A and B are shown apart, each in its own frame.
Chain A
């Protein structure tokens, strides 16, 4: 792969993701004020000192945005990684084993997918204690159903190939077949799917936080910042739109990169998730 062959849109996407990562990694050093520090009046207008103005409690929006990148990215990434590992392992196991295991896993997956993700999350979060780990796990498990479906479809295509047959005949175990035979050959479509799930996780986390069920205050998080500042909209104060724009921009960037990955692998069997 040559650098010149990467289209401009993908560069924009990569740049946006890198910027968000940079904010997340170096938040305490680059943010002008503290995460929960009150530095002025409520909803003070933007000026040279406060780049995006102040929020509903008089905290600096830019600083909270930078700290929020940290929370949002970490939670979304953790949820995506867990969801992916879970979905891939279960779907590959189902595809390799076949028979009863496949039927049971797939039917249960169908059952889970027959409830809309957001509704399912609302029902479950109504019972579970409010905790970050719980939130990540709920997001991951609900999302893994989508990964499972794609993973199984992709793995079934590979599982019937001669080299898998050969590996089975020479007596390799299931774990070897999953990780050494199937995984390397399905990596491209799965990588694109990973990006797609990550974009979805960012949006999903933001939605939950916006509804007051995600990250709990005073921790800064982009969806929660929209919720905090939403009452200002009626008075024409656009404070809520700043974190909203950040969410949208990051999701667009991830999607741009995914689009490029999908185009590169379009000859392979891949599919866009139904989010």
Chain B
């Protein structure tokens, strides 16, 4: 991620020297906050600056000049951009994302219901994918350049190239239609039992796991391999440690920081991968909501969803950076 190496002003110096770790973490957090603010401006302002007249798009065929003027005034589009941005931002900070143009419902209400569903799906996939990927990665290193490693390598290379929707439909065709052991579409509703819910989202979860697993595994393998080629690993080998013991006791702790980074990056990827998977499985989450809104050009919804997805993504990246700094003391003293 971005390297934050700028030094602060002189009054902060003494504080920084006393709590180097805390101050770096605080610095990362402030940086992420600034980034989020810039992203919100980009999503709101950038979108408004692009060509394309909302009002005429919104009206479609019936866009007479009077109707356009009416709708422009009704949606508040006649006010200056900066005013509207700060109004919007103020609302967002209070949890109010405005009203949908298409349905005239509160966006926040919809988002509230759906965000939980999406996060639940992503979290469930992560719980399965992360340990599996790390184990496979270590296995692959242990058997490197031998048959198991080569098999894992080819399969994961193929899996990286599969689009999410292809995996999804393949699973639906076999497990839901041909064998009838899974449910499709994956409709969840409020008040659904926990086990029942897990059963319903089995296929979307499996899709997400398959998509993210290969990526995470390959990156884990690369991270461990780069540690394996270092001098202390040679020493461990020369003093007669068994291969497995050397990996667990010497390589793994040093590969921790890059692996944490890999995991967090892939979690961030998972949050985005949710979009396509939700559409495939007709799952009532944020991704489906956003895609529907984009199709009908429902801007308040698109902006709200875009901002939330970006926020989750930035947050996960920030956590990755901070964990990496904690795991690897060398990162605490930027050059």
Contact = CB atoms under 8 A, between A and B. Distances in A.
A is bound by B: yes
A254 B310 CA distance: 30
Contacts of B54: 127
Interface stretch (B66-74, B117-125, B162-170): B162-170
Contact of A211 (B51, B291, B299): B291
Contacts of B314: 114
Nearest to A109: B2
Contacts of A127: 47, 50, 52, 54, 297, 299
B163 A206 contact: yes
A54 interface: no
B88 interface: no
A120 B307 CA distance: 10
Interface in B95-153: none
B296 to A, nearest CB: 9
Contacts, number: 150
Interface in B29-48: 35, 38-39, 42-43, 46-47
Interface string A227-257: 0001001111010110011011001101110
Interface stretch (B16-24, B186-194, B272-280, B323-331): B272-280
Contact of A116 (B35, B163, B184, B313): B313
B43 A114 contact: no
B169 A240 contact: yes
Nearest to B314: A114
Given A119-B272, A123-B303, A236-B173, A248 B162 contact: yes
Interface residues on B, range: 35 or more
A226 B169 contact: yes
A126 interface: yes
A241 B293 CA distance: 27
Contact of A114 (B39, B47, B165, B291): B39
B163 A203 contact: yes
B52 A210 contact: no
Residues of B contacting A: mostly: helix
A129 B184 CA distance: 34
A206 B38 CA distance: 30
Q: Which 8 A-B pairs have the closest CB atoms?
A: A251-B161, A244-B166, A123-B306, A116-B272, A126-B294, A252-B161, A119-B309, A126-B302
17 contacts: A110-B2, A114-B314, A116-B268, A119-B306, A123-B302, A124-B47, A206-B163, A207-B164, A207-B276, A226-B165, A233-B173, A236-B177, A236-B178, A241-B173, A251-B163, A256-B157, A275-B215
Interface of A: 9, 110-111, 114-120, 122-129, 199, 203, 206-207, 210-213, 223, 226, 230, 233-236, 238, 240-241, 244-245, 247-248, 251-252, 254-256, 259, 274-275
Interface of B: 2, 35, 38-39, 42-43, 46-47, 50-52, 54, 154, 157-158, 160-166, 169-170, 172-173, 177-178, 184, 215, 265, 268-269, 271-272, 275-276, 279-280, 290-291, 293-295, 297-299, 302-303, 305-306, 309-310, 313-314, 317
